[in-house]
Amino acid sequence: MCSALAACSQAQSAREDAGPPSDAGEPDAGSVCEPSCAIDFHYPAQAGVSSVEVRGDFSSEPWGQGLELRLEGDAWVGELMLADKQFVEYKMVLNGADWVLDPEASSLPDGNGNLNSVVQADCGCNAASFDWRDGILYFVFLDRFEDGNPANNSPVANVPYESNYQGGDLAGVTQKIEEGYFTELGINVLWLTSPFDNANGIGIGDDGRDYSAYHGYWPEDLEAVDGHVGSKADLKALVEAAHARGIKVILDYAMNHVHIDSPLFSENPSWFWPNDNGFGGDCKCGGGCSWEGDEGRRCWFQPYLPDFNFTNADARAWSVNNAIMWIEETGVDGYRLDAVKHIEQSWLYDLRRRVRQEIEPNSGERFYMVGETFSPDSGLIGSYVDPLTQLDGQFDFPLRAELTRELLRREGSLVDLAGFLDYNSRVYREGSIMSTFIGNHDLPRAIHLAEDTPLFGDWDSGQGRGWDNRPAQPSAKSAYERLGLAFGFLMTSPGVPLIYYGDEIGMAGAGDPDNRRFMQWEGLSDNQLWLRERITALTKIRADNIALRRGQIDVLGASADTITYEMAAEGQRIVIAINRGDVTRTAEAVPTASYSDLLSGSEDSLSPPISLPPRSLVILRRQ
Residues at the interface with Ca ion (CB under 5 A):
147, 149, 152-153, 167, 169, 197-198, 200, 226, 256, 297, 307, 342
Helices (H) and strands (E) in the chain, counts: 15, 28
What residue is closest to Ca ion based on CB?
Answer: 169
Q: What is the dihedral of CA 582, 587, 588, 590, to 10 degrees?
A: 160
Quote the least distance from Cβ 258 to Ca ion, whole Å: 11
CA 500 to chain centre: 13
Quote the least distance from Cβ 378 to Ca ion, whole Å: 22
Nearest residue (CB) to Ca ion, 360 versus 442: 442
Quote the least distance from Cβ 162 to Ca ion, whole Å: 17
CA dist 414 and 549 (Å) reads 23
Alpha-carbon distances of 445 from 140, 438, 442, 462, 482, rounded to whole Å:
15, 9, 9, 9, 13
User: Sign (positive/negative) of CA torsion 138, 144, 150, 155?
Assistant: positive
Quote the least distance from Cβ 238 to Ca ion, whole Å: 13
CA dist 491 and 498 (Å) reads 9
Nearest residue (CB) to Ca ion, 169 versus 561: 169
The DSSP code for 292 is S
Quote the least distance from Cβ 126 to Ca ion, whole Å: 35
Q: Tell me, what amino acid is at 34? A: E
Nearest residue (CB) to Ca ion, 77 versus 224: 224
Q: Are 563 and 555 in contact (CB under 8 A)?
A: yes
Nearest residue (CB) to Ca ion, 261 versus 582: 261
Nearest residue (CB) to Ca ion, 3 versus 231: 231
* H-run or E-run covering 335: strand 334-337
Nearest residue (CB) to Ca ion, 200 versus 413: 200
Nearest residue (CB) to Ca ion, 226 versus 372: 226
Nearest residue (CB) to Ca ion, 197 versus 588: 197
> SS3 of 611, please?
strand
Q: Tell me, what amino acid is at 392? A: D
Nearest residue (CB) to Ca ion, 220 versus 504: 220
| Helices 232-244 + 313-330 axis angle, to 10 | 60
Nearest residue (CB) to Ca ion, 15 versus 341: 341
Quote the least distance from Cβ 493 to Ca ion, whole Å: 33
23 CB-near residues (< 8 Å, 6+ apart): 38, 79, 81
Bridging pattern class, strands 572-579 and 616-622 = antiparallel
CA dist 117 and 4 (Å) reads 12
Q: For 110-155, list the strands marked E by DSSP.
A: 115-120, 137-140
Quote the least distance from Cβ 198 to Ca ion, whole Å: 5
Quote the least distance from Cβ 210 to Ca ion, whole Å: 16
**What is the maximum span of the chain, computed from C-alpha positions, in angstroms?**
76
Quote the least distance from Cβ 521 to Ca ion, whole Å: 15
CA dist 30 and 13 (Å) reads 9
Quote the least distance from Cβ 172 to Ca ion, whole Å: 7
Bridging pattern class, strands 137-140 and 496-500 = parallel
